[in-house]
Structure 1
Amino acid sequence: MNKKVTTVCPYCGVGCGLEVSPPSSGKTTNCDSLGNPIWKVMGDRNHPSSLGKVCVKGATVTEAMHKSRLKYPLYRETLAQEFRQISWEEAYNLIVDRINTVKDTMGVDGICIYGSGQFQTEDYYIAQKLMKGCLGTNNFDANSRLCMSSAVSGYIGSFGADGPPCTYEDLELTDCAFLVGTNTAECHPIVFNRFRAYHKKNPHVKLIVVDPRGTATAEVANLHLAINPGTDIDLFNGIAYLLLQWNALDYDFIEHHTNYFADFKDVILQYPSDKVAEKCGISIEDLETCARYWAESEKVLSLWSMGLNQSSEGTAKVRGLINLHLMTGKIGKEGSGAFSLTGQPNAMGGREAGGLAHLLPGYRSVLNPQHRQEVEQLWGLPSGSIDGKVGKTAWEMITGLETEEVGLLWVAATNPVVSMPDLERTKKALLKSPFTIYQDAYYPTETSHYAHLLLPAAQWSEKAGTMTNSERVVTYCQQFSPPDGEAKPDWEIFAEVGRRLGFEQYFNFKNASDVHREFVRLTKNRPCDMSGMTHEILADYGSIQWPFPEGSNPEHRYGRRLYTDLKFHTDNGKANFSAYHSRGLAEPPNPDYPFVLTVGRLYGHWHTMTRTGRIDKIVKMHPEPFIEIHPKDAQQLNVQDDEFVKVESIRGEGKFKVKITRSISPKTVFVPMHWGFLWADNAEANSLTHSEACPISKQPELKACAVKISKIPLS
């Protein structure tokens, strides 16, 4: 392709539009370290989400297009052997033989796929049809389980359906932004910059940031609440207590549009300000200021990310935050609402396509008999084809390897040997896997060390498909470069396996447009209705925000808030209050492990560095891992900047260079989660974290664990 194309950035859930231009010809052509010409990237000014802005990751993304690519299928019978190149025919035969063997010896529940928000929606959808429809097992989960599943369960519990109700426009319409558990300035920079420009111009607009760290986000806040880790629910209930005492409630909204307020009221009456301030480690004055901002602002927009979701009480935290919107009626209107910031670029598309172990396409549940029947009919499957029990979650796949209940693990477009909790246990489980398929665009990765069969996947630039961002905007990604080597789109790999297993009639797709056309049929009359979208409409008119039912006018493609009619997807159309007490951290500090470790992302790097670790500019920004320690703790430990410490939990240990800073609370330390064993020595943050998870969302508490720290003497 030799002309400029529009696409979407394949990193975070902001979903920034990109304009990508082909390399220029001649001596001035910019090339990567391998001599490959680099496509030029600019922001797409017509994209409704990013308005032409782009961060360093998006601006440099094409520099890694041809570096360290997996180009051909590779295979080894045992992990002790070296890989050898094989043909796709051999690879498909191995997969089909293994699936049939597991079906015959263990049953279909011995087959698992672990996918990714890096998938396009078409990839997600075909994997669901193969696993949940044709094979009859719900053992498909994705790294959204580590990222967004608490937001999903929170929205479903409170509103009756998943789906962030807000738009990015609300960032420029609100009176008060309440950011909790999100370092938006670094992790979702284009979203933050959009709000920050508005915030600067409007002195009446307030920014509240809730975070144990003094992040770049917190630095510009009107109020920064550096609460103790694990006290989010205490804070939310404490704010609610004050709003109740001050009579700052929307009683008309509560009476006509909500359920269970009385139960909620009984709980919040037990959270007076002195008790909450002490528990959270903040002043009563700051708590009251926060509640006053909520009470006095006509429009409040709350945003959250991993700090709430990655918790053993993640669902309760999300619903506790939504409670504040319900009691004040700040929902379903411009500038207001509870807005989860998605981590992965297409985690939303995965949710729409049914890409978690409890979901089916079109925001349906495997537990709902009517939902199963609807999907079976739309797929043309016999009644009862879809199993009625929830499949294995990501972590249950790991424990299933331990107990020999998993006979085939197929990992695609994600790197669990860095991102999973309790990494040493994860690695040991993977060593027991009878057969692991790893499907990715890059090689090597940490996970490839634990695989038997490697499948080369076409990355985002090499295939056509759609992605949905945090505000429900769907963008068509054009293919603008040929796949490297013999790489194939993920959906094509899944479809070919389906055909070879004898399900030819269900995978009769000529291209990704055909796949998308079938997928959107399953969203018709569902909360995420996209039945009016096609690849062609998206290519002609640009990105479109759902809901977008059949017959919608693509000229009006943006500004579609949810719940503007104050009707929710519950049985009686009313939103649900929740009544949760705070349980605190699953693993609080103790005399032997006196510090709380929290982990997170940095501005330049992305997740496990599979792509960003190969981009020189980003590596120079963040050349090595580190640990943030408060000066008081550094003095107690007798450590200085740039010295090394050993950090230990009961599960593992790591070695990190010290960065002394007042931006971290005392007795709390921070380590970035990006570095696996390919990029640094003994600096894996998740070797320390535990697998305790929210009982509803099954999302692990990656954000906090108890550790001890000791100085490493100079040798």
Structure 2
Amino acid sequence: MTTPIKTLCPYCGVGCGLEVLPDKPCGSTDSAVDLDPIQNPESKSQNWKVRGDRSHPSSKGMVCVKGATVAEPLTADRLLYPMLRESLDQPFQRVSWDQAFDRIVWQIRSAVANQGADAVCLYGSGQFQTEDYYVAQKLMKGGLGTNNFDANSRLCMSSAVAGYVQSLGADGPPCCYDDLEQTDCAFIIGSNTAECHPIAFNRLRKYHKQNSSVKMIVVDPRRTPTAEAADLHLAIKPGTDIDLLNGMAHLLLQWGAIDALFIDECTTGFPGYAEVVRHYPPDVVADRCGISVADLETAARFWQESQRILSLWSMGINQSSEGTAKVRAIINLHLMTGTIGKPGSGPFSLTGQPNAMGGREAGGLAHLLPGYRSVKNPQHRAEVEQAWGLPSGRISPHPGRSAWEMITGVEAGAVEFLWIAATNPMVSMPDLERTRQSLRRSPFTVYQDVYHPTETAAYAHLLLPAAQWSEKTGTMTNSERVITYCPAFRQPPGEAKPDWEIFAEVGRRLGHSDLFHFADVAAVRSEFVQLTQNRPCDQSGITHASLQANGPLQWPCPASETFPTPSTPDTPHPTPHTPHPTPHSKRLYTNHHFPTPDGRARFAAYHSKGLAEPPDPDYPMVLTTGRLYGHWHTQSRTGRIDKIRQMHPNPFIEIHPRDAERLEVQEGDWVEVRSRRGMARFPATITKGIAPGTVFVPMHWGELWASQAEANALTHPIACPDSLQPELKACAVQLTKISPPGQMTQSQAIDRPSLDEQPAMQSVS
């Protein structure tokens, strides 16, 4: 019987284990299939069956529709060869990899000669494997001496990073998925977990159903499938999260429901925090949030009466001009009640992308270095310079450009070379018209991706074909810090290459062969994990070899660790590396010692500021955006899967009946939505599942999949000052009923020709 290939789902941060088995190859009648297509080129046409891996500790055999269908579009609409054009009004022409590499090197050297290394930017992705991340940031920060490497995790998880660092001393969710099945009270805020992290939610929901004493609170302006399962749904007004959290703290303090011993011995800053929450009495908070005093008090009572409280959040918290403050306000509640470092308890950020965690560990943001180090810290820079064999001072002490600052840098003429890889900013960035105008001005843009066409490819000068899931080997870290080995089991089509190999070759051709002498991808990981040794995210014991021998492993995991063999879902993970080793826990901070200078966690005192762009008479409603269960980000992959297209065929706008009546809009009527930046058009879905004054639009549709249905044509780039994460979750809009437009149908959108049929892709003027 064929042995299945164990790997990881490449979609969300739940990090579900998959098993992949060969189906019959195209045209084959033989059921015996060679499982090594890397050595068997004829198996490029192989079909694959995907199922959940029951031995994976995070997902335990469960899989959602995205994971179940992930193998279907492996060969659809692939970018097969490097393609070059001199200007955006010319067609692409196929070139060799040598020509592509030579052009990249020439353009980088030209930009550096003209304006210095900071004129070069690389924008990566949470869909990179950790090895891709590591080599990319090493190229920029070590090879070129600029920190201008950022990733779309900036739009996703950077507020959680900043909140964890400022409150607890280091990044990294302190909880694990087992807590979903050990908590007394799950407090879900800013997360439609049922649709966005479905397998994690399935574990929680099953446990919740089986235990009537377990409470679930969901905070969301929409009555999502997550909220439908809750004991208490708080449909707060957008932008009032801190009001709610401070209001709950006010009541807990008033009731004496605090852990005074933990506060005294393990934290700092509580008096200042207590003074702030004093200004959030129930009547004031209920009015600001648009909820009842009774519901506010019920939420606080649930928290008070629970010994094990688990908070869960995602983009609804992070994508905010107050993102870091919101994260810290959640952590404050755990610190004041001592509910951290215990089973079923703690502040748990649900990572949006499959390897955003791995990117954070590898230094994959413009202010980070590998091993949870900061570019601002002289000792951290010196440690990395020494490890890489660089002269002192080579790594810049200044954070590089964030994702949005790259766009404004191109706009201002300060960025001459922009390299975009594994992400689609012409759908995912805020203020798309400004983004579009900026990319039109770019002197030279490289776009490295898997599928073609995408919306961003229209603004590139050079296209590079990348290998994707199943075609390259590497590792990914999920939301509970579990690292999974993802082997290649099929050949990349055409001339596609793994991302890390592309970055390494450019580094060598720029004259940095000493930095990029990796024999293979395992050597990349081996070098990276040495930089995590004795750091909070120590994974020096997690190499490709140890993962192949033991299965998925969770950090902290120092090289001295002894691994259990074989691993099972119930096998304990390695002991955390601490000065005084304690019995192992899957959780961080079980000894209530935090990686801060004094070993104490920090309270943060924040007043609520509200939305960066509140509604006004001209733009009287608030638009919020989000994912749908079946689709993933900008549809580059899921838009090419029939089952998912049928599940979610068209974009739409959700409107409360009260607002629909005022606008004289009925179900299915077309509505034009305008903000101060742009316009979009959608058919209306009338529902009581959204709060009055608020409308919802899914964020998946770019111009390739529907006409004038881009959510981010409306959003603004105002960002959290600490995390630099834009407030993609809320902006002020006006709605007008319109006649049905002559919109491109879904079938017309998806039938656009592939690259082989369309070598001269439509250009932009």
Q: Give the superposition deviation at 1:639.
A: 1.1
Q: Give the superposition deviation at 1:136.
A: 0.2
Corresponding residue to 1:662 among 677, 688, 691: 688
Structure-2 separation of matches of 1:516 and 1:317:
34
Structure-2 separation of matches of 1:670 and 1:38:
38
Summarize the alignment of residues 52-63 of structure 1 with structure 2, pairs less than 5 Å apart: 52-63=61-72
Q: Give the superposition deviation at 1:714.
A: 4.9
Corresponding residue to 1:229 among 208, 233, 238: 238
How far does the alpha carbon of each residue in 1:660-697 deviate from its partner, in whole angstroms, 9 at most, with x for none?
11100101000000000000000000000000000000
Summarize the alignment of residues 578-597 of structure 1 with structure 2, pairs less than 5 Å apart: 578-597=604-623
Q: Give the superposition deviation at 1:3.
A: 5.1
Report whether the alignment pairs 1:104 with 2:113.
Answer: yes
Partner of 2:573: 557
Partner of 1:600: 626
Q: Give the superposition deviation at 1:28.
A: 10
Summarize the alignment of residues 505-516 of structure 1 with structure 2, pairs less than 5 Å apart: 505-516=514-525
Contact 1:463–1:478 under 8 Å retained in 2? yes
Structure-2 separation of matches of 1:11 and 1:330:
30
The AA in structure 2 aligned to 1:120 is Q
Query: For 1:144, what is the secondary structure of its paired residue?
Result: helix
Report whether the alignment pairs 1:151 with 2:160.
Answer: yes
Structure-1 separation of matches of 2:389 and 2:539:
21
Query: For 2:218, what is the secondary structure of its paired residue?
Result: strand
Partner of 2:37: none
Partner of 1:619: 645
Corresponding residue to 1:649 among 675, 680, 683: 675
Partner of 1:70: 79
Partner of 1:673: 699
Structure-1 separation of matches of 2:11 and 2:710:
21
Contact 1:532–1:552 under 8 Å retained in 2? yes
Partner of 1:702: 728
Corresponding residue to 1:361 among 354, 359, 370: 370
The AA in structure 2 aligned to 1:547 is P
Structure-2 separation of matches of 1:375 and 1:158:
25
Q: Give the superposition deviation at 1:37.
A: 4.3
Structure-2 separation of matches of 1:85 and 1:250:
66
Partner of 2:477: 468
Contact 1:95–1:497 under 8 Å retained in 2? yes
Structure-1 separation of matches of 2:356 and 2:304:
33
Report whether the alignment pairs 1:207 with 2:223.
Answer: no
- Number of aligned positions between the proteins: 710
Partner of 1:5: 5
Partner of 2:751: none
Partner of 1:444: 453
Query: For 1:131, what is the secondary structure of its paired residue?
Result: helix
Corresponding residue to 1:40 among 49, 71, 75: 49
How far does the alpha carbon of each residue in 1:195-236 deviate from its partner, in whole angstroms, 9 at most, with x for none?
000000000000000000000000010000000000000000
Partner of 1:32: none
Structure-1 separation of matches of 2:226 and 2:116:
50
Structure-2 separation of matches of 1:127 and 1:483:
20
Corresponding residue to 2:259 among 238, 250, 258: 250
Contact 1:544–1:554 under 8 Å retained in 2? no
Query: For 2:274, what is the secondary structure of its paired residue?
Result: helix
How far does the alpha carbon of each residue in 1:481-502 deviate from its partner, in whole angstroms, 9 at most, with x for none?
1011100000000000000011
The AA in structure 2 aligned to 1:393 is S
**Which segments of 5 or more consecutive residues in structure 1 lack a partner in the other structure?**
30-34
Q: Give the superposition deviation at 1:36.
A: 4.6
TM-score, length of structure 1 as denominator length? 0.98
Structure-2 separation of matches of 1:3 and 1:293:
47
Structure-2 separation of matches of 1:713 and 1:382:
65
Report whether the alignment pairs 1:693 with 2:719.
Answer: yes
Partner of 2:103: 94
Kindly, what percent of the aligned residue pairs are identical? Answer: 66
Structure-2 separation of matches of 1:640 and 1:373:
63
Corresponding residue to 2:431 among 422, 441, 466: 422
Structure-1 separation of matches of 2:510 and 2:46:
41
Query: For 2:353, what is the secondary structure of its paired residue?
Result: coil
Partner of 1:22: 22
Partner of 2:307: 298
Q: Give the superposition deviation at 1:161.
A: 0.5
How far does the alpha carbon of each residue in 1:602-642 deviate from its partner, in whole angstroms, 9 at most, with x for none?
00000000000000000000001000000111111111111
Q: Give the superposition deviation at 1:38.
A: 2.6
How far does the alpha carbon of each residue in 1:505-527 deviate from its partner, in whole angstroms, 9 at most, with x for none?
11111111000000000000000
Contact 1:179–1:207 under 8 Å retained in 2? yes
Q: Give the superposition deviation at 1:554.
A: 2.2
How far does the alpha carbon of each residue in 1:316-366 deviate from its partner, in whole angstroms, 9 at most, with x for none?
000000000000000001000000000000000000000000000000000
Structure-2 separation of matches of 1:3 and 1:180:
41
Runs of 4+ in structure 1 off by over 3 angstroms are 25-29
Query: For 1:63, what is the secondary structure of its paired residue?
Result: coil
Query: For 2:497, what is the secondary structure of its paired residue?
Result: coil
How far does the alpha carbon of each residue in 1:513-570 deviate from its partner, in whole angstroms, 9 at most, with x for none?
0000000000000000000111011012110000001121221437521000100011
Corresponding residue to 2:58 among 41, 49, 64: 49
Q: Give the superposition deviation at 1:460.
A: 1.5
Summarize the alignment of residues 341-352 of structure 1 with structure 2, pairs less than 5 Å apart: 341-352=350-361
Partner of 2:757: none
The AA in structure 2 aligned to 1:609 is Q
Structure-2 separation of matches of 1:317 and 1:576:
14
Report whether the alignment pairs 1:319 with 2:328.
Answer: yes
Q: Give the superposition deviation at 1:247.
A: 0.2
TM-score, length of structure 2 as denominator length? 0.92
Contact 1:543–1:557 under 8 Å retained in 2? no
Q: Give the superposition deviation at 1:27.
A: 5.4
Corresponding residue to 1:577 among 582, 603, 616: 603
The AA in structure 2 aligned to 1:16 is C
Contact 1:3–1:22 under 8 Å retained in 2? no
